Amino acid sequence: MPCLGMPCPTAFVWSGDYELYNFGPWHPYKPYLWRLAMEELTLVHTRHYIMFVKRKCEDGYGFLDYGDTPAAPGVYEGAVSRVGGTLTAARLVMEGRYIHAFNLGGGLHHARPSSASGFCVFNDIAVAVRYLQRWHGVKRVAVIDVDGHHADGTQDIFYSEREVLTISFHRYGIYPGTGWHDEVGVGDGEGYSVNVPLTPPLTEASYLYAFREIVPPLIRSYKPEIVFLQYGADSHRDDPLVGLPLSTHGYQEIASIVHGLAHEASGGKLVVTGGGGYNPDNVRRIWAIGFITVSGVAVSEEELRSLHDEAHDPGKVDKPVVELVEKIKRLVFPYHGIDV
Ligand SMILES: [Zn+2]
Ligand SMILES: [Zn+2]
């Protein structure tokens, strides 16, 4: 199923502009990503907000939100180029030039149409989805988000639409405070926002149980034309901000499941973005493992071992998680004609 045992042609999208916090405007990658992103930003964000971000970052002081997201010089250009990266990834996949694409600079899932939030200025995945709807006539997109924080910005943007199925796994009770399991969408979008709010302590086996029970049936039933995976690394057990139980092995399993589902339901079309992650060594290892898993690129056993956690004990599935999963199934599966 995954590319018939062969490596899958996978684009790795990156721009030095992501580091514009330090670099100058002369950087050679800038014009292309910049132009593409500028034309499409308004598909999600208001002109007023875009101009606000630009002006504030030119001033170079203060915040873009209520205190999490500083208006430093270069942030505007950096944020636009990250949107350009996800747009490029989506376009490469949709046009069939690559089966999968990674933009580890993307996944800024807290940004809303007219406000920044939680280190996120522009919502790159939402812009890419609107771009695909508008220019490629895409009718069904799935966005799976395993960042440790709720994908509130992405959810809000598509909350009343069934053309976009959003599924967010996150720790409940930390920033941004939303993402309870009864948030399922409104109107036409009822049943198309899915939330899996997890509360520690829980085992890695519990997390993966919930993922396997909920994601595959929904993706098989929904049959998205393209799948986005927001692969934030802050659900790792050693992340200093979140407190979820995933190891690098769990992250590998998630990448593997989503990769298989993309081939099964979406002709392989899969875009992976980064997201949060506040332990740099974990982030490096998790994203490398994700790329290796999805692309099928050959690495030696030894190389792969060096990327993994030493210990891997997923534990047993916790009863409260089994109950939560049953509740979510009862709430959401009927909208998709799936037996509970
Ligand atoms: Zn593949
Ligand atoms: Zn996060």
pLDDT mean over 293-312:
91
Q: How far is the CA of 24 from the centre of ligand 1 (A)?
A: 37
Nearest CA to 1 among 217, 254, 177, 260?
Answer: 260
Q: Among the bound ligands, name the one nearest to the CA of residue 148.
A: 2
Give the pLDDT confidence score for residue 6 in this predicted structure.
79
Query: What's the average model confidence in pLDDT over 262-277?
Result: 97
Residue in the block written with tokens 């940004």: 111
Cα of 143 from ligand 1 centre, angstroms: 17
pLDDT at residue 22, as a whole number: 40
DSSP string, 189-208: GTTSEEEEEE-SS--HHHHH
Residue 232 Cα to ligand 2 midpoint, Å, equals 6
**Whole-angstrom distance, CA of residue 103 vs CA of residue 273:** 5
pLDDT at 43 (0 to 100) = 95
Q: Nearest Cα to 91, choosing from 49, 45, 32?
A: 32
Q: What is the pLDDT of residue 31?
A: 47
Nearest ligand to the C-alpha atom of residue 277 = 2
Q: What was the pLDDT predicted at 131?
A: 97
| Torsion sign (Cα): 51, 54, 59, 61 | positive
Is the CATH code 3.40.800.20 the one for domain 3-336?
A: yes
- What is the CA(326)–ligand 1 centre distance, in A? 31
Query: What is the CA(319)–ligand 2 centre distance, in A?
Result: 25
CA 99 to chain centre: 18
pLDDT (0 to 100) of residue 24: 45
CB 189 within 8 A of CB 159: yes
- Contact status, residue 67 vs residue 108, Cβ threshold 8 Å: no
CA distance 244 to 202: 7
User: Out of 84-88, 225-229, 309-313, which region has the weakest mean confidence (pLDDT)?
Assistant: 309-313
Asked if 179 and 152 touch (Cβ cutoff 8 Å), the reply is yes
pLDDT at 272 over 50: yes
3-state SS assignment for residue 116: coil
For the ranges 1-5, 89-93, 109-113, 119-123, the lowest mean pLDDT is seen at 1-5
Assess whether pLDDT exceeds 60 at residue 21: no
Lowest-confidence range among 28-42, 86-100, 168-182, 291-305? Answer: 28-42
Question: Which residues are identified as catalytic?
Answer: 110
H runs (alpha helix) in 12-74: 30-41, 47-59
Of all ligands present, the nearest one to the C-alpha of 150 is 2
Give pLDDT, residue 30.
46
pLDDT bin (cut points 50, 70, 90) of residue 36 is: low
The pLDDT value recorded for residue 66 is: 87
Express as a percent the part of the chain with pLDDT over 90.
Answer: 82
Please, where are the H alpha helices in the chain? 30-41, 47-59, 75-94, 124-136, 152-157, 204-222, 248-265, 280-295, 301-307, 319-332
| CB-based neighbours (< 5 A) of ligand 1, an ion | 2-3, 8
Find residue 144's DSSP bridge partners: 167, 229
Contact (Cβ atoms closer than 8 angstroms) between residue 204 and residue 315 = yes
The pTM (predicted TM-score) of the whole model is: 0.94
The sheet with strand 270-273 has its strands ordered as: 10-12, 100-103, 270-273, 226-230, 141-145, 164-171, 193-198
Q: Which ligand is nearest to the CA of 231?
A: 2
pLDDT number for residue 33: 55
Which two structure tokens, joined as six digits, stand for 235?
A: 């659900």
Q: How far is the CA of 58 from the centre of ligand 1 (A)?
A: 42
Ligand 2 centroid distance, CA of 296 (Å): 26
Instruction: Specify whether the CB–CB gap between 166 and 156 falls below 8 A.
Output: no
Domain boundaries, the chain: 3-336
Answer whether residue 23 shows pLDDT above 60: no
Residue range 241-261: mean pLDDT, rounded: 97
